Amino acid sequence: MKRYLLHIDGAAREPRSGRWFDTQNPYTGESWAQIPRGDASDVDDAVQAAHRALTQGPWAELTATQRGALLRRLADLIARDAVQLATTEVRDNGKLLAEMQGQLNYIPQWFHYYAGLADKVQGSTLPLDKKGYFAFTRHEPVGVVAAITPWNSPLMLLSWKIAPALAAGCTVVVKPSEFTSASTLELAGLFDEAGFPPGVFNVVTGFGAEVGTPLVEHPLVAKISFTGSDSTGRLINEKAGRHLKHTAMELGGKSPNVVFEDADLEQAAYGAISGIFAATGQTCIAGSRLLVQSSIHDAFVERLLALARTARMGDPMRPDTQVGPITTPPQYQKVLEYIDIARSEGATAVLGGERGRAPECGQGWFVQPTIFTNVRNDMRIAQEEVFGPVLSIIRFENEADALRIANDVRFGLAAAVWTKDIGRAIRMSERLQAGTVWVNTYRAVSFMAPFGGYKDSGLGRENGIDAIREYVQTKCVWINGGAVAGNPFVMR
């Protein structure tokens, strides 16, 4: 079995504990590699290295343009190794090769985009109200960034953090999910090959309590950029608050996908399917609440069922597979429990609702694509994040009703509206409480488009020009150009 190493201070290294743990392939259920079991001492080594790189090393001496050049080199190496990295991700998280390959092919764009932005983070000169002074602002790196990532799209979600953080001049310590650490450790080697100085990018793998907690609490970590569940996010934010650290939180969702009677129903059906069954529903932006106008409800459900029944479960490495396994055993149990909860609440399973046992499911942790009708918005299945291939369909009567139901949830990551009425599209996009609203599409993301949550779905934004501001702090410099000191006991 392949045995991976930590990446600290520009070198691959064994964990100080001398311990490793197995990582499993969700399709076969078999262990395929050993991941270093890091602890607080490895975290300290990594953070100290990142802090040295930030304050003393050659990294601190580079111009922003030179940082951009390094990011471009890294982008090219990721593009070169995209097939290898995507294959590793499929082995670890069981998502379709088609999906992970698509992500890996796209990831270099994040590094090119922020490489271009690196030397455009300009301060301003201030038209001061005080004579004889000159003042200007500088945007300086916020410091050592702890990047903590989940298992569903390991390298893509990491890139959303590290591309702007490195462009801004920060250094990084990454703690990937214990379920999907391998691709992040493989990525680390590319930093050395690209010529990044030691300590700029470090990876400590392991568990939340053993690596995540000491990383969050380390005094030399200035910012925590987290993607994961809202319960872990809250915990981290509480600790960060105690230590007065900056945070960015990309958390869960329960996104409404709203289909009006005047929509292009074929396109809407595709959008509904991609909203919930793509990535086996293991995506923060899953359109897990499908709101359908009463006048078209039955016909639309029929159309959806016809499409969903064609979904092929199976080996995620095969190009014709459409629904892969659930990534982790605990998540598998959780999805099955939610199916039981939905049934006990009175929802009707019109599709699926069982473990996937077809021969093509192998030994994997499969759940059949599942659709519930007769869902009320106050049911747990309509309010809580399942993170699996389970769709809840809720009826609505009119626009006001749709809006009320859509917003009646504690999350606010994404929402979609399907309609041909431009006025309705504008009204809904203004009133839906979500960080992303799609009109007549679903699950579109870009390095250029700000992404993040309203309400319990998070704090801060990733992607787009503003994301680089998440990794800088503003300094205001005052220069006395000849003002004469007056009374020293009062403010100037």
Which residues in this chain contact ligand NAD in the complex, by CB under 6 A?
Answer: 148-152, 157, 175-178, 208-209, 212-213, 216, 227-229, 232, 235-236, 250-253, 284, 385, 387, 413, 453, 458
Least Å from the CB of residue 284 to ligand NAD: 3
Calculate helix-pair angle for 64-80, 154-167, nearest 10 degrees.
160
Least Å from the CB of residue 361 to ligand NAD: 22
d(CA 55, CA 258): 50
Among residues 48 and 153, whose Cβ is nearest to ligand NAD? Answer: 153
Least Å from the CB of residue 139 to ligand NAD: 24
Instruction: Check: CB of residue 434 under 8 Å from CB of residue 255.
Output: yes
Task: Map tokens 């599209």 to a residue.
Answer: 425
Torsion from C-alpha of 259, 260, 264, 267, nearest 10 degrees = 0
Choice among 89, 99, 170, 284 that is catalytic = 284
Calculate helix-pair angle for 265-276, 297-308, nearest 10 degrees.
60
Among residues 154 and 198, whose Cβ is nearest to ligand NAD? Answer: 154
Least Å from the CB of residue 179 to ligand NAD: 7
Choice among 89, 99, 186, 250 that is catalytic = 250
d(CA 403, CA 430): 11
Instruction: Check: CB of residue 69 under 8 Å from CB of residue 59.
Output: no
Among residues 170 and 216, whose Cβ is nearest to ligand NAD? Answer: 216
Among residues 229 and 473, whose Cβ is nearest to ligand NAD? Answer: 229
**Pairing of the two strands 370-373 and 201-203:** unpaired
d(CA 427, CA 332): 38
Among residues 322 and 328, whose Cβ is nearest to ligand NAD? Answer: 328
Distances (CA, A) of 299 to 84, 186, 294, 304: 44, 48, 10, 9
Among residues 62 and 215, whose Cβ is nearest to ligand NAD? Answer: 215
Tokens found for residue 342 = 């939905």
Among residues 62 and 147, whose Cβ is nearest to ligand NAD? Answer: 147
Helix (H) / strand (E) containing 478: strand 472-480
Least Å from the CB of residue 231 to ligand NAD: 7
Least Å from the CB of residue 214 to ligand NAD: 9
Instruction: Check: CB of residue 490 under 8 Å from CB of residue 445.
Output: no
Whether 284 is catalytic is yes
CA gyration radius, the chain: 24
d(CA 222, CA 404): 39
Least Å from the CB of residue 216 to ligand NAD: 5
Phi, psi dihedral angles at 267 (to 5 degrees): -65, -40
Whether 354 is catalytic is no
**Pairing of the two strands 289-293 and 390-396:** parallel
Tokens found for residue 363 = 């030994």
Catalytic residues: 250, 284
